[in-house]
Structure 1
Amino acid sequence: MRVERLGQDKIRIFLTFDDLHERGIEKEDIWRDIPKVHDLFNDMMEHAYEELGFEVIGPVAVEVFALPAQGMVVIVTRGRSQTSFMDDNEYDDDIYEMEVTLEESDDVIYYFQDFEYLIDACHRVREVLTEGGKIYGYNERYYLVLDELDLENQSLYNTVIALLSEYGEASTVTKYVLAEYGKLVIGENAVEQLCEHFE
């Protein structure tokens, strides 16, 4: 579990599938209202408090993004607490008022610390994937984004993820963040273009 602060009232938590399995939670369970998912949320909030001093009391907005073969990104935003308008007996600090948004993405996004690793990865991926992909620069890293449409079947999907994992790391940054804050390096057919320019 990795936690990072996005703003005064917003944090991002990255959960790997190992984090979920350790707690006996399957990917599909996240969408269900069951005690072990509540326990997971409480663990995340405790972790966020220990690492960042981020304390949650009252209303929160929770966005969950499922990423393929990587895990889940959970974005928690604190709302304005209404406790000053409530009687102390009506409010329990242990209960969160949650507004939950769930999104699942089949996009594959990997980042590379070094441009050479990105080149090597693209040469390997090009053996099975001849078109598609975008490359962004963001926070001194290079990101390869493959949209779900670029990966037409499960076998190809799994192969591409296995190849990319040899050279890079699964990203917790979504393509929307990259499009807004990153620098677009190659906008289309990035794998093929990079391979043609760097033998």
Structure 2
Amino acid sequence: MRIERLGQDKIRIFLTFDDLSERGIQKEDMWQEIPKVHDLFTEMMDQAYKEVGFDATGPLAVEVIALPAQGMVVIVTRGKYDHHHPGFGSSYEDELPDEVYEMEVTLESSDTILYSFDDFEMLIEAAHVLNHMLVEAGRLYKYKGKWVLQVDSDPLEESKIQAIIAVLAEFGDAISVTSAVLEEYGNVVIADDAVGVICEHFKLQN
């Protein structure tokens, strides 16, 4: 579990599939109202308070994005008290409760596989292994000093997706950002067919 502060009222938590399995949670469980998922959210909020000082008191907007390879990205935004909120009666207008822990959860799934590489040589090696598995695939970003390869898993068969993830995991690291974050804060280096372009211009080092 990795926690990153995005702002005064916003954090991002990255859960790997190992984090989930250690707690007896399947990916599909995140879509259900079950006690162990509530326990996981409580644990995340406790850890967020300890690590980055994020106080989860008050209404929270929780966005859970399931990624095909990396695990899940959980974005938590702390809202402001709304005196007209249906949860508060008029008697609460002058004296709000000390602790309100309510969550509005949004769940979505992404078809995007994202892996980062510290070393461009490792990316070249990965691209040459992937080249025979993918046709005109991949988008390459530069983000926070790392090379990030994005592959859309939507048109691929499940067995091929797992093979691609195995290759990427051998050479790179799963990254806890979404495509939207990369699009906004990263720099596009190769917009299309990144795997093919890298293989065409960069040969393997002997």
Provide TM-score, normalisation by structure 1. Answer: 0.93
Aligned to 2:3: 3
Spell out the pairing of 1:58-137 with structure 2 (5 A cutoff): 58-82=58-82, 85=93, 87=95, 91=97, 93=99, 95-137=100-142
User: What is residue 42 of structure 2 aligned with on the other side?
Assistant: 42
Gaps of 5+ in 2: 84-91
Please state whether the residue corresponding to 1:131 is helix, strand or coil: coil
DSSP 3-state at the match of 1:54: coil
SS in 1 for 2:44: helix
Distance 1:86 1:42 in 2: 28
CA distance in 2, matches of 1:104, 1:171: 16
Query: What percentage of aligned pairs have identical amino acids?
Result: 57
Residue aligned with 2:122, SS: helix
Question: Within the alignment, does 1:24 sit opposite 2:32 as a pair?
Answer: no
Q: CA RMSD for the aligned pairs?
A: 1.6
1:26 partner amino acid: Q
Q: Output the amino acid matched with 1:148.
A: S
Q: Secondary structure at the match of 1:42?
A: helix
Listed as ranges, the gaps of 5+ residues in structure 1 are none
Superposed CA deviations along residues 24-79 of structure 1, whole A, max 9, x for unmatched, are 11111111111111110010000000000101111010000001132110000000
> Which stretches of structure 1, 4 residues or longer, exceed 3 Å deviation after superposition?
none
**For each residue in 1:91-139, what CA deviation from the matched residue of structure 2 results, as whole angstroms up to 9, or x when unmatched?**
362x521111111012111000111111111011112113211000010
Give the deviation of 1:86 after TM superposition: 5.7
What's 2:182 paired with?
178
How many residue pairs match? The answer is: 195
Give the aligned residue type for 1:7.
G
Q: Shift of residue 20 of structure 1? A: 1.0
Code of the residue aligned with 1:152 in structure 2: it is L
TM-score normalized by the length of structure 2: 0.90
2:168 is the alignment partner of 1:164 = yes
Q: Any conservation in 1 of the 2:70–2:114 contact (CA below 8 Å)?
A: no
Once the two structures are TM-superposed, the CA of residue 82 in structure 1 deviates from its matched residue by 4.6
- CA distance in structure 2 between the partners assigned to 1:86 and 1:124 by the alignment: 64
Quote the Cα distance in structure 2 between the aligned partners of 1:40 and 1:116.
Answer: 38
State the 1:173 CA deviation.
0.9
Higher mean C-alpha deviation, range 126-135 or range 46-55: 126-135
Residue 3 of structure 1 deviates from its aligned partner by 0.3
